[in-house]
Each structure stands twice: as structure tokens, then as C-alpha cells.
Amino acid sequence: MRRVLQLYRSSVGKKAVMGVTGLMFFGYVAGHLAGNLKIYLGAEHFNAYAEFLREIGAPALGHSWFLWAFRIVLLAALLLHVTAAIQLWLMARSARPTNYRRPVHLEDSYVSRTMRWGGVVILIFILYHLMNLTWGTAHSDFIPGDAYHNLVTAFQSLAVSAAYIVAVIVVGFHLYHGIWSSLQTLGVNQEHHDRWRRTSAVIATVIVLGNISIPVSVLTGIVQ
């Protein structure tokens, strides 16, 4: 633990924390996509799946224990991810008090420069998403326990679907740079960083397309 704290003191350590938590989110988003795609198997499958999540570990652990443990880990990771992001951001700002008249835009891709704002958008989206599909507070016709219904009715609104599509694209960009970047941060890309860049592009595209397909399918009536 002392070593982890020592590591966190350095910028590389903070970056590593972002990298590790970022990869955890990536794992979550990937798993979440797999779950979400069950929508195509119909309401029963989908709801059973949602229920299944709550029953993992039961009876040994009790109803929803695992899910809560999982949520707590995710929430803690999010807090770390965001705290590190803010600390590093402040550090970067103070490192260049006067900017260039025409700031430099070299290889740093558009994507890499939008990581910070992308993160903020994602944060807002997650909040909205929870209110929309988990708590139902931002849902016109929320039926607790019927995830399939909640989802389909939500996406029938063009505005809601559009918001999801935009958010998912932002997540995709964040991941495109993020996956590659965390490998760089964790020192996996020892050589040929470009190959890893292509890999993360493919992964990010799959995630974006997979998730977008859901609101699109609802809007076009493939999923009802």
C-alpha cells in the first residue's frame, strides 16, 4: 500500500491509476454491451439477464450483494479516475502559463485533446442514464423490474435515442484514445505503439456500433 501511495504521488502513478480504472471501465462497457445485445433475443431473455445480475453469488452472498459490491468498485474507480484527471489537468495548466498565439496541433489527435471534455460529457451521460434506466426518475413510463420495456419505451423518443447515440460516440472516442493510452501508460506498448493504436480503434468501433444498433433498432421498429 505504501508503494501504491508512493506511486500515486508521481504523475506517472496518477496516470497509471487512470489507466487501470479506465481499463476497468472498458471491461465494464464491453460486458455491458454484451448484455445490452441480448435485447435482440427478446424481453424474456433480457429481463432474465437483468435479474441474473442481481442473483450472482446467491444464495452464498444474498440478493444483489454481488451487484452492489460491483457498483461500489465501479463508483470508487470512477472517483479515482475523475480525481486523477482533475489533478493532472491542473498540473498541465500550471506548466504552461502563457499559451502560444496559435497553439500547436501536431500529431496530438483531435481525440487525444478531447479526452478531458469527453470525460465530462460521459459523466453527465452516466448520471442521466442512471436516472433514465436504473432509477427511472428521468423516464416517462418506468416499470421497475421490466428493463426491456423501460428501454424500448425510452428509445422510442427520437431525442432520447439521439442523446444515447451521441454519448456512445463520445465514449467510443474516449476509448479509442483511452485503450491505447492506458497501454502506453502501463508500459505495455514497448515497441510499435502504432499497432496498438489500430487495435484500440477496432475495439472502440465495435463498441460504438454495437451500442448504437440498439436505439436504431428501436426507432426502426426491429426491436419493439
Partner 1 sequence: MQITLNVWRQASSMAPGRFERYVAKNVSEHMSFLEMLDVVNQGLIEQNKDPIHFEHDCREGICGSCGMVINGVPHGPKPAITACQLHMRSFSDGDELWLEPWRAKAFPVIKDLVVDRNALDRIIEAGGYISARSGSAPDANAIPIPKETADTAMDAAACIGCGACVAACPNASAMLFTSAKVAHLSKLPQGQPERRRRVLNMVEQMESEGFGYCTNHGACQTACPKEISIDFIAYLNRELLGATLVG
Cell of 80: 479515482
Distance CA 96, CA 90 (A): 10
Query: Does residue number 115 form part of the binding site for partner 1 (CB under 8 A)?
Result: yes
Distance CA 171, CA 115 (A): 10
Query: Does residue number 19 form part of the binding site for ligand HEM (CB under 6 A)?
Result: yes
Distance CA 65, CA 33 (A): 22
Torsion of CA 106, 183, 80, 94, to 10 degrees: -30
Q: Which of ligand HEM, partner 1, none binds 13 (CB below 5-8 Å, type-dependent)?
A: partner 1
Closest CA to 47 of 149, 133, 126: 149
178 phi, psi to nearest 5 deg: -65, -45
Query: Does residue number 86 form part of the binding site for partner 1 (CB under 8 A)?
Result: no
Query: Does residue number 1 form part of the binding site for partner 1 (CB under 8 A)?
Result: no
Q: Which of partner 1, ligand HEM, none binds 81 (CB below 5-8 Å, type-dependent)?
A: ligand HEM
Residues 9-68 that bind partner 1 (CB under 8 A): 10-16
Q: Which of partner 1, ligand HEM, none binds 6 (CB below 5-8 Å, type-dependent)?
A: partner 1
Convert residues 57-86 into a mask of x (bound to ligand HEM by CB under 6 A) and - (unbound). --------------x---------xx--x-
Q: Do residues 207 and 33 make contact, with C-beta atoms less than 8 angstroms apart?
A: yes
72-6-91 Cα angle (round to 5)? 85
Convert residues 124-163 into a mask of x (bound to ligand HEM by CB under 6 A) and - (unbound). --x--xx--xx------------x---x------------
- Report DSSP letters for 207-221, one per residue: HHHHHHHHHHHHHTT
Q: Which is nearer to ligand HEM, 6 or 52 (CB)?
A: 52
Cell of 29: 462497457
Q: Which helix (H) or strand (E) holds 145?
A: none
Binding site for ligand HEM (CB under 6 A): 15, 18-19, 22-23, 25-26, 29, 32, 36, 50, 71, 81-82, 85, 88, 115-116, 119-120, 122-123, 126, 129-130, 133-134, 147, 151, 164, 168, 171, 174-175, 178-179, 181-182, 185, 211, 214-215
**Residues found near partner 1 in the complex (CB under 8 A):** 3-4, 6-7, 10-16, 88, 91-92, 94-109, 112-113, 115, 177, 180-181, 183-193
